[in-house]
Amino acid sequence: MAAVTGAVHPAPTDTTQGPLGALDDQALFEGVRKGSEEHFNVLYERYFSRIYNFIYVRTRNHADAEELAQETFTVVFRSSEAYSGRSTPLGWIYGIAKNTVYNHLRRNRTHGERVEEAGADAVQSASPIWRLNPEEQLAMDRYARIIEERLDSVSEWQAEVFYLRHVENLPIREIEKRTDKSSDAIRSGLYRVKRLLLEGEQALAGA
């Protein structure tokens, strides 16, 4: 499974122009369910960037987003037999990505709570370069929790267009091409995500 175990970048080189590249998602996924690494690699390259973008909006960390995206596709390959067909293959992959991010954020919060309980000395020894006191760590954990709760109500494509617009700084026209969404839908989606993030900041300030 070279696409998962090798070094990967947020925008993998497109090698999907061969015969397998012409297959639709369902046909590719049938091959994955039979254990075909070739089918999996095409599916991986087709959607890695979209899953990466989806995860980055929630983690705000490029290294974490890349690692979690690879973890997502590892689960996709190993658990493909569990796919029931009730959703599209891409929808199923998004669901795995969402669970992967949730578990990652939960682990981080648990670690932060343990550090806080250990006291300021543990915080300082854990990070000699960037130190957070217990109050700052608690505030960061609370903010991450609030933002994640609000982003749970955002659709996958809305998270994707937010990343493309505000992280990659792409114009609306380019985002239209990448997501196959109208400019009005994109602007509406961007407004929704911004409003949710603002509400999260306001809720934190009022806490």
Distance CA 202, CA 106 (A): 22
The CATH code for residues 21-152 is 1.10.1740.10
| pLDDT per position as a tens digit, 20-38 | 888 999 999 999 999 999 9
Q: Please provide the distance, in angstroms rounded to a whole number, between the alpha carbons at the two ends of the chain.
A: 47
Task: Give the global pTM.
Answer: 0.60
Helix (H) or strand (E) holding 113: helix 89-118
Average the pLDDT over each of 18-22, 134-138, 172-176 and give the range with the smallest value: 134-138
Residue 167 near residue 110, CB atoms below 8 Å: no
